[in-house]
Amino acid sequence: MVNTLTHVTRDEERDVELKPLQFFRLMRRIFGYARPHRRVVFLLGVITIVRSIQLPMLAQMLSSVINGPVAAGDFRGVLIGAGEFAALAAFTQIVFGFRVLYALDIGELVVRDIRNAIFEHLQGLTASFFNKMKVGRIISRMSSDLEAIRFGVQDVAFMTIVGAGQALLAAILMYRADRVLFCILVDGAADLDDEPALQPATAAGAA
Which pLDDT score, from 0 to 100, does residue 6 have?
42
Highest mean pLDDT among 24-28, 68-72, 79-83: 79-83
Q: What is the mean pLDDT of residues 200-207?
A: 44
What CATH number is given for 38-183 in this structure?
1.20.1560.10
Contacts of 134 (CB under 8 A, 6+ apart): 13
Euclidean distance between CA atoms 193 and 190, whole angstroms: 5
Which pLDDT score, from 0 to 100, does residue 45 have?
87
Which pLDDT score, from 0 to 100, does residue 20 have?
61
Give the residue with greater pLDDT, 92 vs 22: 92
Give the residue with greater pLDDT, 127 vs 102: 102
Which residue stretches of 124-133 are H helix? 127-132
Which pLDDT score, from 0 to 100, does residue 91 have?
92
Euclidean distance between CA atoms 180 and 188, whole angstroms: 12
In this structure, the number of other CB atoms found within 10 A of the CB of residue 96 comes to 15
In this structure, the number of other CB atoms found within 10 A of the CB of residue 178 comes to 11
Query: Over pLDDT 90: what percentage of the chain?
Result: 6
Q: Tell me the domain boundaries of the chain.
A: 38-183
Euclidean distance between CA atoms 183 and 188, whole angstroms: 8
Burial class of residue 166 in the structure, from the number of CB atoms within 10 Å of its CB (0-12 exposed, 13-18 middle, 19+ buried):
middle
pLDDT digits (tens, 9 = 90+) for 35-55: 888 898 899 889 988 988 888
Q: Write the CA distances from 117 to 7, 69, 73, 83, 122, integer angstroms.
A: 38, 60, 65, 51, 9
pLDDT digits (tens, 9 = 90+) for 136-150: 888 888 888 888 888
